Structure 1
Amino acid sequence: MQERQSPDTRAFGLMVLFCLMLGMQQVALKAAASDVAPILQIAIRSGVGALLVWLYMVVQREPVSLKAGNWKPGLVVGFLFAVEYLFLGEALRFTSASHAVVFLYTAPVFAALILHFLIPTERMSRLQWTGIGLAFLGTALAFMGGESGVSTEGLSDMLLGDALAILAGAAWGATTVVIRTSRLSEVSPRETLLYQLLMAFVLLLVAAFATDQLDFVPSAIAIGSITFQGIFVAFLAFLIWFWLLRNYHASPIGILSFMTPIFGVLLGAWLLSEPLDPNFLSGGALVICGVVLVNSPFLGSKSRGILSQQITSRPKL
């Protein structure tokens, strides 16, 4: 087995590229929302991503182990993945891309809390509990107040969108728990990713039909958003991610991945002219600090199960 090394300049550069692509995801969804509903965009890009991942597995001669019964927990994580992106897609109808990306990244907090009570070896330390407290304090602070010039109705919509983004984060955390506690923890991450993308493609298409969100205006921004997400987010980012995990230690790579919400906020402000409310910025900073504490590689062996499963189950698509 190839010996993993500590992240170097090349790893850091690839992580910056990786986090930029993922931080751009919510921005692209929001930018094209007037032409294609976010959940329809995610459904289509999931289908494109699933096809590319399957072709990659074929080229690598990597079979999908259906006979081993992996498809059963695979359906569960695929369902949770679809629920996560249903919440996220709906959240982006009401709130900003910057809010959505920060609240989505509360996922490790939910995973840590569930695993703490579910698996004795995943008990959290005092410092990790401090991280949990910081994350929830930051969430509460980010909910307080509102951007200047936003009407009462607009503020209510934003709070609804923020709540949906948090539910998306909870669904991602639950996905981590299922993978951590099922036979999927022993299968190829590509197989797990394939289950998730296929289920998202099918279930989100059904959701788009049921909620009458099938309208598609083939504008340049709509085509560009779906192409970017299908090829770069759902496939290329995945290749970068697992190459890094094969060659470098997982814990520091996982910590570097939390550049994603920072890039998401900055890109939302730059490309979509989203206002940056001081309460949100302060709260978002606390959320990120709290999540980093929960996943810190310096907290001892008990913390590594949460982080390792969180970051090896799939890149944050």
Structure 2
Amino acid sequence: MEKRDSMDAFGAVSLIGFAALIAFNQVVIAVVNEGLQPVFFAGLRSAGAILLIWLWMRFRRIPVMITRETIMPGLAIGAVFALEFVFLFMALDLTTVSRTSVIFYTMPVWLAIAAHFFVPGDRITPVKALGLALALAGTAWAILQRPDSGEVSLAGDLFALGGAICWAAIAFIAKATTLRNVTPHTQLLWQVGVSAPILLLAAPLFGDLVRDLQPIHLWGLAFQIVVVVSAGFLFWLWLLSIYPASGVASFSFLSPVFGVLFGWALLGEEVGPVIFGALALVALGLVLINRPARAQVPQKVA
């Protein structure tokens, strides 16, 4: 498929579907956490994804582009990937899907801040600054206004925030280091390949590896490996290679919306005014952050 200069119907439908998938993914993680310890679960997911991604690259004859210049950033992106999913999986073990979705999907906020200081030409405009302020206000509101409920904890909210910052760090490493010269498949292989041993070795530090394991938890693990990581992430990277990055990023605000809806509809989570207010601020902020800058019209010389 040829590269497109603008978003078409196929791209829009695909990105809406992907936003729904990764939001539903959080429901799956919350359910599987009942049967498997979160860090052990994350390690198994990465280990399974290594095999599937490698087989797909072999089938498509996509080279694994490992050079001396990419080893250090590859190890770094894999380590941060491991930390991201420690935070995310622990967040979904300690707080609700709705709250995690609102906080975790503030990733573009932290990426925009990092890019402003470290990526030439990627500055924070007044519109982006307003978006950052709104999204940060929504995040702070969600964290500070917590209901008196045993299923919601400050630690869980902070884990979600840490996961968002790590996710932004992954995107920054992929964009600002020599990893930008390798295929998206190789980037993803670095992430799962490095994170798997880190997570599996660290898992015993977080308690018993197996909880009340049931068949549904194994199905959830398989769904994570096959559909979310191996197929979903690669499909998103493929869309990113075809459509403008700003257009792809603009759909990110849908993920917290879907996350809140799925948490309410599938898990029976209580969604009150605080979550709706925080969600509105974060979603509006992400729209402004991802809004493409207007092209400057050259002035005619008299």
TM-score by shorter chain over 0.5: yes
Match of 1:163 among 155, 158, 162: 158
SS at 1:122 equivalent: coil
Q: Give the match for residue 311 of structure 1.
A: none
- The change in CA–CA distance for 1:61 and 1:212 in structure 2 (over 3 A counts) is same
Q: Give the match for residue 269 of structure 1.
A: 264
Q: Using the alignment, how far apart are the partners of 1:212 and 1:50 within structure 2?
A: 25
Match of 1:190 among 175, 179, 185: 185
Matches within 5 A, 1:132-147: 132-147=132-147
Shift of the alpha carbon at 1:250? 3.0
Q: Is 1:177 aligned to residue 180 of structure 2?
A: no
The answer to whether the 8 A contact 2:90-2:159 is kept is yes
Q: Is 1:211 aligned to residue 225 of structure 2?
A: no
Instruction: Read off the aligned partner of 2:128 and give its amino acid letter.
Output: Q
SS at 2:153 equivalent: helix
Q: What is the aligned-residue identity percentage?
A: 34
SS at 1:69 equivalent: helix
The answer to whether the 8 A contact 2:34-2:213 is kept is no
The answer to whether the 8 A contact 1:30-1:38 is kept is no
SS at 1:70 equivalent: helix
Moved more, 72-81 or 25-34: 25-34
TM-score normalised over the length of structure 1: 0.87
Matches within 5 A, 1:59-74: 59-74=59-74
Q: Give the match for residue 299 of structure 2.
A: none
Q: Give the match for residue 12 of structure 1.
A: 12
Unaligned 5+ runs, structure 2: 297-302
The answer to whether the 8 A contact 2:43-2:197 is kept is yes
Q: Using the alignment, how far apart are the partners of 1:179 and 1:249 within structure 2?
A: 17
Q: Using the alignment, how far apart are the partners of 1:8 and 1:120 within structure 2?
A: 29
Aligned length in residues = 296
The answer to whether the 8 A contact 2:111-2:168 is kept is yes
Q: Using the alignment, how far apart are the partners of 1:70 and 1:216 within structure 2?
A: 38
- The change in CA–CA distance for 1:208 and 1:55 in structure 2 (over 3 A counts) is same
SS at 2:34 equivalent: coil
The answer to whether the 8 A contact 1:144-1:279 is kept is no
Shift of the alpha carbon at 1:100? 1.2
Shift of the alpha carbon at 1:5? 4.6
Shift of the alpha carbon at 1:277? 2.0
Deviations 1:209-264 (A, max 9, x none): 22224115441220111011111100121242233234433322221233122111
Shift of the alpha carbon at 1:126? 1.0
TM-score normalised over the length of structure 2: 0.91
Q: Using the alignment, how far apart are the partners of 1:33 and 1:83 within structure 2?
A: 17
Q: Is 1:200 aligned to residue 231 of structure 2?
A: no
Q: Using the alignment, how far apart are the partners of 1:141 and 1:282 within structure 2?
A: 8
Q: Is 1:45 aligned to residue 40 of structure 2?
A: no
Matches within 5 A, 1:86-125: 86-125=86-125
Moved more, 291-300 or 230-239: 291-300
Shift of the alpha carbon at 1:300? 5.7
Q: Using the alignment, how far apart are the partners of 1:67 and 1:109 within structure 2?
A: 32
Matches within 5 A, 1:285-304: 285-298=280-293
Moved more, 105-114 or 64-73: 64-73
Shift of the alpha carbon at 1:12? 2.4
Moved more, 4-13 or 118-127: 4-13
- The change in CA–CA distance for 1:3 and 1:164 in structure 2 (over 3 A counts) is closer
Q: Give the match for residue 231 of structure 1.
A: 226
